[in-house]
Amino acid sequence: MKRRNFLAGTLTGLAVVANTQHVFAQALAQSPLPGLPGAANRCLVLINLQGGNDGLNCVVPFGNPQYYQLRPTIGVARNDVLSINDKVGFNPTMRSFKSMYDKGMIAVVQSVGYPNPDHSHFRSTEIWQTAAPDKYEHTGWLGRYLDDANLPKDNLFNGVALAQVLPEVMVAGKTDVPAIAQINGYGLISDRNNSASMAYTKLVSDNRLPFSSPYLAHVAEIEDHAQKGSQELPKLIAGYKPAGSYPATPLGRSLALAAQIVGSNLGTRVLYVQHGSFDTHVGQKATQDRLLGEFSDAIKAFYDDLAAHGADNRVLTMTFSEFGRRTAENASRGTDHGEASPLFLIGGGVKGGMYGAYPDLSDTNMGNLKFDTDFRSVYATVLERWLGRPSAPILQGQFSTIAALG
Amino acid sequence: MATALTPRTDVAGIYRPAGHLDAATALAPYKGAWDARMAAHLLRRAGFGSSPDEAAKYGSMDVHAAVDALIDFPTTDSLPEPDDLYDPRAAYMQYLQPGMRPGALDDMTKRKIGQDVRQHERQSVIALQRWWLNRMLVTPAPLQEKMALYFHGHFTSAAIQKGVSPVMVYNQNQLFRTSALGNLRDLTWQVSTDPAMMIYLDNARSDPQHPNENYARELMELFTLGVGNYTEQDVRESARAWTGWILRPRDGTVQFVPFRHDNGSKTFLGETGNFAGRDIVDIIFKQPASATFFANSLLNFFVYNGPEPQLVDAVAKLIRKNDFTIKPVMSTLLRSNVFYSSRAYRALVKSPVEFAIGTYKTLGAKEIDDRAQRALVQMGQILFYPPNVAGWPGGANWLTSQTVIARENFLASIVNSPMMDSVDWMQKMPLKASQAAKDLIATVLHGDASAQSVAQLTDYLNGAGTSALGMLSGENYPERIRGAAYLTMAMPAYQLN
């Protein structure tokens, strides 16, 4: 997007909200980002498919007879699969998603993982979020991106997590990312009273207390940002009228809010959304089908909405899940924790199609799929070709990029 | 030996308090000053805070009498039992002819029963939450409830999702309560064969042909050893050893069925034999990492986050010396120098439950009101529904802009409720604004605010920022005192435990 358009988009916001000028003033005063033209206006939406999405029943290798031997009861029948080619196809609940794939809006990267995979939800989620498989890293890869990208410091919405708890991926060294579960109720009751509101502002900034606590500065900062951010955000996004038919599910509501934030030009570069739980040890089909159907419909509504606002091309969505699942089903018609699985890149900048190696069901790590593409290669691709930043400092190493983004 | 994984509260150790740990005297008995402020610190950690009267009462004892009162707690038999717990089996029984199995019902009926059951179960668990929250508030044995909350977050199970019924939730909660200061090895074994746990982590659905690894893994990773202290092979072997335990569908009791047990030889953590579940627990507790793991976990929950390895080792040694019996360990910790040091004081973030119950305590309330459960959902801690098997991550994770807003709004709502009419100390605040500000900060924060904050609160009481500027007076007293009480509780110190 050209700078002139960026200005035009934000001026409306300025007229509506007087007390948030600093957000834009900083954004406008900023020199153009190094890297890709237009990167300054791009946004990455990251969707965490929590719990370990079973890749084999999501992108189904129906062309491989072994698949049906491994999954006699929960295998997706060949005739039900929404076939992509003669080897694989989407789960039948993903019709909307398939229609987007057919339009070239989706890149499927198969067999994504990392060396020496961990089978614990907690640790593997941490590894994907910190992009540090070999050590315990405090900051997330998007947190490090936010610290690195020279974004306007006074903008409280450079990164936004649509979650109750701040996910590790958004933990940064220098940037506080607001976690917002829903916009209703995102505000202090005490701000309705001017006198209390003023006193609150002063009291939370008090740092000369008669005790020291490692959490004190953190608490004060969050209290301050909670007040400022909640005063500003509802006004900033009020002008945006959603234009997608979102499913009435938590993910549908999250993506509707995501579109509102991205479409309101707040300068948000990264946005986190979560969906789940995919931890289907028992009775997998009912749970996973429901979740994949919700995901597919919500994504479709999200891009319809963005397209209606001319924002679809500047929003890239990426999914991840802490691991795939065991190739063979277990006694409970479910699957246990596995290793490699596919992820999706959707929307802006994507060169639709299939990437990465097809899952090899005959050469596994004790029943778990081996990885072909290191997830950090996908991150490097997103950082360099979408967000316009050198990836090596953020990922703490050089990873090759993949061709899925152009 | 691999060190135990730092708990999720503070992965990088950045919330370890500044300053130097005197490791040699850290666990020695505290002999420093003792007053209501120190007593309030003890009661926040070993309980759920204190009313002004309780802080004064414990403050007038000495440290040993205060800790003794918490550790040698009185019987709690006279506290009310929860109301009728919903039993889903009754719903099925209505529809079943004698001798008919639930599986024989048609799909429509099953769906109808399913909806009915879920709705009643939800209501029953909500009633159970309320019962527990009230118990935390009024119990004469706060440490018993605090340990139950600690174990609930440690040996995580969640209600309903997988068919964990309200009765099972209650039974597990009672197990944590009766084991409050008992033996960690025994508790681990009891939890392993607890119906809620067997369902939540799938041991109830395992069999020798397809051993389910979920429990086997979490038992070591999250409950006893931590990542890095076992191999994937140990997980698989342990899963085999746990086969054979089933839940009887008829009455929900646990049973060991020999023909469903894998009788083959297993090699687990370096030992080989035809192991079953109890052997697995015993072998785990022979690992040095188990004491280290619990030491780290207890220090993070009760003392401060990111405890130094020397401190962890000292507590681990204490745990081993007492063969995993927790009472003497807690007794030592709660009277130790490190516990009362400035490094531990307000060094933790209050969990939502601590925050909410602590607020009712501060207000001297006799029971919680409707606000509590709604607010706890928004603050991110729903009892019996931990977010995942790792429990609540705690620490800085409790505080986001969203959850902080929920915390403050809970306070705003409560200070504006009729409940405040019965708060003794609130009626007795002086009319002089500067004195009222001091008294509020003394009552609510035990003095933990700066002179600058006292001045700002005084200004607020005197009407700064209002169009009707005017000194605190009989006319505006109720509204301004309530507003000032809110602002005092909204100060950063109040978020800290």
Tell me the average pLDDT across A212-229: 92
Handedness of CA B136, B142, B144, B147 (dihedral sign): positive
Handedness of CA B301, B216, B246, B189 (dihedral sign): negative
Q: Which two tokens stand for residue B103?
A: 């599986």
Q: Are B202 and A181 a contacting pair at CB < 8 A?
A: no
Residues B128, B172: contact at Cβ < 8 Å? no
pLDDT of residue B393: 81
Annotated domain spans of chain A: 3-395
Distance CA B437, CA A114 (A): 57
Using the 8-state DSSP alphabet, how is residue B168 labeled?
H
From residue A54, alpha-carbon distances to A127, A285, A335 in Å are 18, 10, 8
Distance CA B456, CA B449 (A): 11
From residue B193, alpha-carbon distances to B197, B299, B433 in Å are 7, 27, 59
Q: Per residue in B35-57, is it b (16+ CB within 10 Å) or e — as a string?
A: ebbbbbbbbbbbbbbbbbebbeb
Do β-strands A341-347 and A315-320 pair in parallel, antiparallel, or remain unpaired?
Answer: antiparallel
Look up residue A257 and give its amino acid: L
Residues A263, A36: contact at Cβ < 8 Å? no
Closest CA of chain B from A205, distance in Å: 9
Listed as ranges, residues in chain B with pLDDT below 70 are 1-13, 160-161, 468-469
Q: Are B403 and A185 a contacting pair at CB < 8 A?
A: no
Closest CA of chain A from B442, distance in Å: 13
Q: Across the interface, which of B212, B345, B404 has its CB nearest the CB of A223?
A: B404
How confident is the model over B126-145, as pLDDT tens digits? 999 999 999 999 999 999 99
Contacts of A189 in chain B (CB under 8 A): 408-409, 412-413
Supply the angle between the helices B277-286 and B232-241 in degrees, to the nearest 10.
140
Residues B342, B55: contact at Cβ < 8 Å? no
Residues B353, B376: contact at Cβ < 8 Å? yes
* 3-state SS assignment for residue B251: coil
Residues A283, B212: contact at Cβ < 8 Å? no
Q: Across the interface, which of A138, A180, A214 has its CB nearest the CB of B17?
A: A214
B319 membership: H or E segment, kind and range? helix B309-321
Distance CA B89, CA B72 (A): 39
The interface predicted TM-score of the complex, written ipTM, equals 0.91
Q: What are phi and psi of B364, to 5 degrees?
A: 70, 25
Q: Are A179 and B402 a contacting pair at CB < 8 A?
A: yes
pLDDT of residue A39: 64
Query: What is the band of A15 on the pLDDT scale with cuts at 50, 70, 90?
Result: very low
Q: How many CB atoms neighbour CB B221 within 10 A?
A: 25
Query: What is the band of A406 on the pLDDT scale with cuts at 50, 70, 90?
Result: confident
Contacts of B402 in chain A (CB under 8 A): 164, 178-181, 186, 226
How confident is the model over B261-270, as pLDDT tens digits? 999 999 999 9
How confident is the model over A309-367, as pLDDT tens digits? 999 999 999 999 999 999 999 988 999 999 999 999 999 889 999 999 999 999 999 99
Distance CA B146, CA B67 (A): 14
Distance CA B118, CA B111 (A): 10
Tell me the average pLDDT across A227-237: 93
pLDDT of residue B306: 93
Mean pLDDT over the full length of chain A: 88
From residue B397, alpha-carbon distances to A72, A168, B211, B266 in Å are 42, 9, 35, 40
* 3-state SS assignment for residue A44: strand
Q: Are A212 and B227 a contacting pair at CB < 8 A?
A: no
pLDDT of residue B407: 97
* 3-state SS assignment for residue A347: strand
pLDDT of residue A21: 37
Query: What is the band of A36 on the pLDDT scale with cuts at 50, 70, 90?
Result: low
Using the 8-state DSSP alphabet, how is residue B380 labeled?
T
What string of DSSP letters covers B48-102?
A: S---HHHHHHHHTS-HHHHHHHHHSPPP-TTSPPPS----HHHHHHHHPPTT--G
Question: Percentage of chain A with pLDDT > 90?
Answer: 75
Distance CA B432, CA B214 (A): 62
Do β-strands A106-113 and A82-83 pair in parallel, antiparallel, or remain unpaired?
Answer: unpaired
Q: Are B400 and A210 a contacting pair at CB < 8 A?
A: no
Contacts of A209 in chain B (CB under 8 A): 448-450, 492-493
Higher pLDDT, A234 or A175: A234
Q: Are B466 and A194 a contacting pair at CB < 8 A?
A: yes
Look up residue A259 and give its amino acid: A
* 3-state SS assignment for residue A346: strand
Tokens 């009024």 sit on residue: B138
Closest CA of chain A from B229, distance in Å: 13
Residues A316, A349: contact at Cβ < 8 Å? yes
Q: Where are the alpha helices (DSSP H) in B382-476?
A: 401-415, 424-427, 433-445, 451-461
* 3-state SS assignment for residue B325: strand
Q: Which of A116, A122, A191, A261 to mutate to test the interface with B (most CBs of B within 10 A)?
A: A122
Q: Are B409 and A202 a contacting pair at CB < 8 A?
A: no
Cis peptide before A277 (omega within 30 of 0): yes
Q: Which two tokens stand for residue A338?
A: 């596995």
From residue B76, alpha-carbon distances to A64, B73, B184, B330, B367 in Å are 62, 9, 22, 19, 17
pLDDT for A205 beyond 60: yes
Residues B426, B481: contact at Cβ < 8 Å? yes
Closest CA of chain A from B73, distance in Å: 30
Q: Are A121 and B390 a contacting pair at CB < 8 A?
A: yes
Residue B74 C-alpha from the chain's centroid: 20
Q: Are B460 and A195 a contacting pair at CB < 8 A?
A: yes
CATH number of A3-395: 3.40.720
pLDDT of residue A20: 37
Give the HSE-up count for residue B415: Cα atoms under 13 Å, Cβ half-sphere: 26
Q: Which two tokens stand for residue A17?
A: 């909200």
Closest CA of chain A from B99, distance in Å: 25
Contacts of B409 in chain A (CB under 8 A): 185, 188-189
Nearest CA to B212 among B233, B172, B189, B239?
B239
Longest dimension (CA), chain B: 83
Residues 6+ apart with CB under 8 A from A13: A20, A24, A236, A239, A264, A265, A266
Q: What are phi and psi of A3, to 5 degrees?
A: -60, -35
pLDDT of residue B13: 67
Q: Across the interface, which of A119, A210, A229 has its CB nearest the CB of B448?
A: A210
Closest CA of chain B from A116, distance in Å: 11
